Amino acid sequence: MHFVLILLVVAGGMGLSVEAGLLGPLGGQVGDLWATFSVFGVGAALTFLLMLFFSPRNSPSFFAQPSWQLLGGVLGPVYVIILTVATPTIGIAMTMIGILAGQVSKSLIIDHFGLLGTPQRKIDHKRIIALLFIIAALVLVAQG
């Protein structure tokens, strides 16, 4: 089961690269914020349809959840704006490797301390080496 989830995550990452490639030109044509809005508008409409047909009707109230858990709603648009602005200037590969470096470094900290309600997974030498490879990729692609 873990293998299938890993494949899904890799496919999701590939989708983010495509999204970055689409957002750059769209932002150049309609403006960065309008491009960001279009992504979230289409995404909200699709999510609404999925909820309408597949979500349990008796799920807990959205507003009963701790407010800090809603930060993803703020972080998502910031991420998409960064993709929209950075991609045309530094390219998809550099943007994605930079995003990956930030994601992995922060993820290691979150895992290590068990933050945000996640299980604690200590940083070990293998995880540090993986982060160093990502940083090396960032440096190598930046020089290319």
pLDDT tens for 34-55 read 999 999 999 999 999 999 999 8
- What is the total residue count of the chain? 144
- What is the DSSP secondary structure assignment for residue 141, as one 8-state letter? H
* Residue 24: strand, helix, or coil: helix
Closest C-alpha among 45, 44, 43, 25 to residue 35: 25
pLDDT of residue 144: 75
Average pLDDT, stretch 85-90? 94
Task: Work out whether the CA dihedral 135, 27, 80, 77 comes out positive or negative.
Answer: positive
Kindly report, residue by residue over 95-132, the tens digit of the pLDDT: 999 999 999 999 999 999 999 999 999 999 999 999 99
Kindly report, residue by residue over 54-74, the tens digit of the pLDDT: 988 787 777 788 888 888 888
pLDDT of residue 97: 95
Q: Which helix (H) or strand (E) holds 12?
A: helix 2-30
DSSP letter string, 25-76: HHHHHH-HHHHHHHHHHHHHHHHHHHHHHHS-TTPPPGGGS-GGGGGHHHHH
pLDDT of residue 57: 78
Domain boundaries, the chain: 12-57+73-143
Average per-residue pLDDT for the chain = 92
Spatial distance between the Cα atoms of 41 and 7, rounded to a whole number of angstroms: 27
